Amino acid sequence: NTVYLNGRYMAAEEARISPFDRGFLFGDSVYEVIPYFQGRGFRLQEHIARLEHSLRAVRIPNGRDWVAILDQLVELNGGGNLSVYLQVTRGDSGSRSHAYDAGLEPTIFACCTPVRDFASLPVAEVKGLAAIVTADLRWHRCDIKSTCLLPNILVLQQARDQQADEALLLRDGVVTEGTSSNIFVVRQGVIYTPKRSSEILGGITRELVLELADENGIQYQETDIDYEALTTGDEVWISSSTRGVLPVTSIDGQAVGNGEKGPLWARMFELLTRYQRKLMTGS
Ligand code: PMP
């Protein structure tokens, strides 16, 4: 398992980060998770653009050749289907002071783990997920992919304690997203999803789902979704880079629609699969 740390590739056991690193002390850092299929980054440019947005928003210097760093990491790990994690912290300030000096050298760490290619699963084998709905306890800059994930972790665990797979988050009466996914509701053949704002992460897969909807004449609307609208829809989906688009078939113990995976979800799953195959193999 080869990792990247501050300009060098090394065995994971050899990687050392200072306890005074601000990423460790304060969560003063941002990250990306990028799937590589057959050794190639999927929507890589979009992920890099979002990383640069996060860095700019928290004023951590940018300017690395991210693609080269990640491509080489993947190659050193044998290519194939990998989920690449990239974290950039503000660096090591040598003490635990909240204030930082401009000019700190960011700490850059990347590693990868095997991931299943979401497009390799036959549609019939995809399982419907159970979700709970709970309060969104996060800050108001969820568009920044920050490593401060304590609220996400706590509510996901709350979902797990209730045998659910994901927690959907409710803020000021409207659904924002899942703890690590974006959310879609289908009603009478139309897809509804919260509009992009600083209350949600601009998901790369969310963007792709809307793109595919556009190209295939499927109607969608970016709008507020309240609890009532969420729980009375015909279908509910979540999306993320490593999981693609997945059906949610129960919310708070109640069936979504007829409790089965929906037909529009199946269509979107096929569109996503086809898009992914075409991009990855050129066929
Ligand atoms: N929202 C949150 C809070 C997430 O952590 C993720 C996973 N990165 C997503 C949405 C989905 O984003 P993407 O499709 O870019 O993986």
Do 245 and 273 have their domain in common?
Answer: yes
Smallest CA separation from ligand 1 atom 12, residue? 203
Q: Is residue 194 a contact partner of residue 222, using CB atoms and an 8 Å limit?
A: yes
107: tokens are 């700490």
Q: Is the pLDDT of residue 72 over 90?
A: yes
Per-residue pLDDT band for 123 (boundaries 50, 70, 90) equals very high
Question: What is the rounded distance in angstroms from the CA atom of residue 17 to the CA atom of residue 177?
Answer: 32
Boundary-marking domain end, from 55, 86, 115: 115
State the Cα angle at 189 between 186 and 193, rounded to 5°: 35
For 248, phi and psi rounded to 5 degrees? -100, 120
Do 169 and 252 have their domain in common?
Answer: yes
Smallest CA separation from ligand 1 atom 7, residue? 180
Distances in whole angstroms, Cα of residue 238 to Cα of each of 31, 206, 268: 21, 9, 12
Do 35 and 160 have their domain in common?
Answer: no
Do 134 and 267 have their domain in common?
Answer: yes
Is the pTM higher than 0.95? The answer reads yes
Q: Which atom of ligand 1 is nearest to the CA of 47?
A: 15
State the Cα angle at 232 between 229 and 233, rounded to 5°: 80
Smallest CA separation from ligand 1 atom 2, residue? 180
Do 73 and 20 have their domain in common?
Answer: yes
**pLDDT-above-70 percentage for the chain:** 100
96 C-alpha to center of ligand 1: Å?
Answer: 30
Domain limits for position 32: 2-115
Q: Please state the ipTM of this predicted complex.
A: 0.99
| Beta bridge partner(s), residue 255 | 250
pLDDT, residue 264, reads 98
261: tokens are 């995976």
Do 95 and 216 have their domain in common?
Answer: no
Q: Residue 66 maps to which CATH number?
A: 3.30.470.10
201 C-alpha to center of ligand 1: Å?
Answer: 6
Do 82 and 63 have their domain in common?
Answer: yes
**pLDDT-above-90 percentage for the chain:** 95
Query: What is the rounded end-to-end Cα distance, in angstroms, of the chain?
Result: 31
Question: What is the rounded distance in angstroms from the CA atom of residue 230 to the CA atom of residue 124?
Answer: 24
Boundary-marking domain end, from 115, 141, 176: 115
How many CB atoms within 10 Å of residue 138? 21
260 C-alpha to center of ligand 1: Å?
Answer: 24
pLDDT, residue 119, reads 86
Question: What is the rounded distance in angstroms from the CA atom of residue 143 to the CA atom of residue 25?
Answer: 22
Do 14 and 92 have their domain in common?
Answer: yes
Q: Which atom of ligand 1 is nearest to the CA of 50?
A: 15
Boundary-marking domain end, from 115, 142, 170: 115
Contacting residues for 122 by C-beta, under 8 A, at least 6 apart:
none
Do 16 and 131 have their domain in common?
Answer: no
16: tokens are 């050392």
Do 184 and 257 have their domain in common?
Answer: yes
Query: Which of 241, 242, 272 most suits a substitution to test ligand 1, by most atoms within 8 Å of the C-beta?
Result: 241
pLDDT, residue 177, reads 98
Query: Which of 156, 201, 209, 272 most suits a substitution to test ligand 1, by most atoms within 8 Å of the C-beta?
Result: 201
Q: Which atom of ligand 1 is nearest to the CA of 179?
A: 3
Is position 145 annotated as part of the catalytic site?
yes
pLDDT digits 0-9 by tens, 78-122: 999 999 999 999 999 899 999 999 889 999 999 999 999 988 889
The domain tally of the chain equals 2
pLDDT, residue 283, reads 57
E strands along the chain, which residues? 2-5, 8-11, 29-37, 40-41, 82-89, 107-114, 129-135, 166-171, 174-178, 182-187, 190-193, 220-222, 235-240, 244-251, 254-255
Residues with beta carbon inside 6 Å of ligand 1? Answer: 33, 177, 180-182, 201, 203-206, 239-241
Query: Which of 147, 182, 211, 276 most suits a substitution to test ligand 1, by most atoms within 8 Å of the C-beta?
Result: 182
